[in-house]
Amino acid sequence: METIETSRLVLRPFTQRDAADLFEYLHEPVAGCFLSLALANMNDAEHAVAERSTDDKSIAVCLRESGKLIGDLFAEPEGDTFSVGWNFNPGFGGKGYAYEAAAALFTHLFTERAARRLYAYVEETNTPSQRLCEKLGMRQEGVFKEFVSFRNDDSGAPIYENTMQYALLRREWLS
């Protein structure tokens, strides 16, 4: 992943110095889809950033002025289509950082990586991500009923969640 800069952010590969900031928002993930990525301690965070630093689909989102990691994006290629997603530190919510980062990534994928189509899966209960998809111009293509389970109920039975799929074509982004 090459570095992408916006007016307030830097999107770049992960480095070891990101461990504490990653732990800050992944020790207790907010969205159910990130529960499997929960970090128990700093040792886990150091291993996670080491893995992400060698993974071209993982993108660190940092404040331009301080270098602080405030979230991450992913873009997983599938031919000319990319599965995209985001996870941000809730302490930095409401400032437009997720939109700014995702829009910069979308522009990069469509113009530099020749993406034809981007899509994202969003839990039906994750209204902030739904709003972000819509603000980015993505359209809802469907809802997968009881698609996946990220947690269990008190008796240990899986709780299945409905998952929405959003998508965007290059021609829609560029118009």
Mean pLDDT of 43-63: 95
Which is nearest to 87 in space by CA: 61, 49, 123?
Answer: 61
Which is nearest to 33 in space by CA: 100, 121, 101?
Answer: 121
Q: Are 133 and 16 in contact (CB under 8 A)?
A: no
What span, in angstroms and rounded, lies between the C-alpha atoms of 5 and 105?
Answer: 10
What span, in angstroms and rounded, lies between the C-alpha atoms of 68 and 18?
Answer: 8
Domains of the chain: 4-174 (3.40.630.30)
Range from 35-44, 106-115, 139-148 carrying the lowest mean pLDDT? 35-44
% of the chain beyond a pLDDT of 70: 93
Q: Are 122 and 163 in contact (CB under 8 A)?
A: yes
Q: What angle do CA 13, 19, 22 make, to 5 degrees?
A: 80
In tens, the pLDDT along 147-157 reads: 776 677 889 88
What confidence tier does 32 reach under pLDDT thresholds 50, 70, 90?
Answer: low
- Other C-beta atoms within 10 Å of 13: how many? 17
In tens, the pLDDT along 74-91 reads: 999 999 999 999 999 999
pTM of the model: 0.91
